[in-house]
Amino acid sequence: MFLDCLVTPFTANAFMQNALMAGILVSIACGIVGTFVVLRGLAFIGDALAHGVLPGVAIAMMLGLPGMLGAAVGALGMIFGIGFITRRSNLSSDTAIGLLFVGMLALGVAIVSRSHAFSGDLVRILFGEILGIRTAELVTQLAATLVIAALAVTCHRPFLLLCFSPEQAEVSGFPPRRFHAIMLLMIALTVVVSFRTVGTLLVFGMLLAPAASAALFSRKIITMVVSASAIGTCSVYAGLLASYHLNIAAGAAITLSASLLFFILLTARQLMPRPAGAKS
């Protein structure tokens, strides 16, 4: 009976299988990218990118174009905008990110609010529709996840050095600006392909919560990436189950599961005996 509750929703419903598949792919992409977001302190830019795609998606939908295309244009606009403001002013990148973040979000809401027909779209953009995922979208998500994984493997040395010290990356022959830009593009790609699944508002939670949970226990970056992906997958599974049985929004349930897992793991770590440290 209990096992039925855990398994049957997925075996009996094709839409739940698709949702699980899409969620796992999102978890892997977010696990890889989220690790670097957490380690490099890029949470704010991740948040800004997740919200900054809104006007792009809204305009694309108004014009009858794929939302993903609009999201990609919005994300690239954010990245170039942040670079432009920081280069042309003495403002910190945090200020530039904040300015564009609120501006883009407000623009997106303003565009959507022009028509009642779009209010449903706004909910879909912000919270996703993982239960309505089609096979073609799964293929796109798979391709994006493979691209992200390939980039992470190819750039793992400069990414590690960037996390350790951008100066060490530079003197090792890996220009920090170039690899920082690649990292931002990976965040943007994750946000763009994930917004259909968990929505722009919640993809940020999937970027951050599993990676932050993994950081509590990991002693190697590769362990952190794998753990973050696994924790994300568990969150997707638990969230979908909760959504199915409790009739709550799937995207929100997934992200809520990821956040709850973080607090459970944090509490567990506090309760665990501390290992003997090397400090003296």
Q: Per CB under 8 A, does 224 bind another protein? A: yes
Q: Per CB under 8 A, does 178 bind another protein? A: no
Of 169 and 203, CB closest to another protein: 169
Q: Per CB under 8 A, does 261 bind another protein? A: no
Q: Per CB under 8 A, does 193 bind another protein? A: no
In Å, what is the CA distance from 201 to each residue of 112, 127, 206? 16, 6, 10
Q: How far is the CB of 50 from another protein (least distance, A)?
A: 22
Q: How far is the CB of 123 from another protein (least distance, A)?
A: 36
CA distance 173 to 58: 41
Instruction: Judge residue 189's burial from the number of C-beta atoms within 10 Å of its C-beta, 0-12 exposed, 13-18 middle, 19 or more buried.
Output: buried
Binding residue for another protein, selected from 114, 157, 177, 178, defined by CB under 8 A: 157
Residue from 276, 241, 238, 271 nearest 257 by CA: 238
Q: Per CB under 8 A, does 149 bind another protein? A: no
Q: Per CB under 8 A, does 173 bind another protein? A: yes
Q: Per CB under 8 A, does 220 bind another protein? A: yes
Q: Per CB under 8 A, does 87 bind another protein? A: no
CA distance 141 to 135: 10
Q: How far is the CB of 277 from another protein (least distance, A)?
A: 4
Of 184 and 203, CB closest to another protein: 184
Q: Per CB under 8 A, does 154 bind another protein? A: yes
Q: How far is the CB of 238 from another protein (least distance, A)?
A: 25
Helix (H) or strand (E) holding 140, with range, is: helix 135-154
Of 8 and 154, CB closest to another protein: 154
Across 69-84, b (16+ Cβ under 10 Å) vs e yields ebbbbbbbbbbebbee
User: Residue count at the site for another protein (CB under 8 A)?
Assistant: 30
Of 36 and 101, CB closest to another protein: 36
Q: Per CB under 8 A, does 158 bind another protein? A: yes
Tally the C-alpha atoms within 13 A of residue 256's C-alpha that lie toward its C-beta: 13
CA distance 280 to 267: 27
Binding residue for another protein, selected from 21, 40, 83, 182, defined by CB under 8 A: 40
Judged by CB under 8 A, the stretch of 43-51, 68-76, 162-170, 186-194 that binds another protein is 162-170
Residue from 100, 35, 64, 57 nearest 193 by CA: 57
Other beta carbons within 10 angstroms of residue 155's beta carbon come to 18
CA distance 150 to 143: 10
Cα end-to-end span (Å), the chain: 54
Residues that bind another protein (CB under 8 A): 39-41, 154-155, 157-158, 160-161, 163-165, 167-168, 170-174, 215, 218-221, 223-224, 277-280
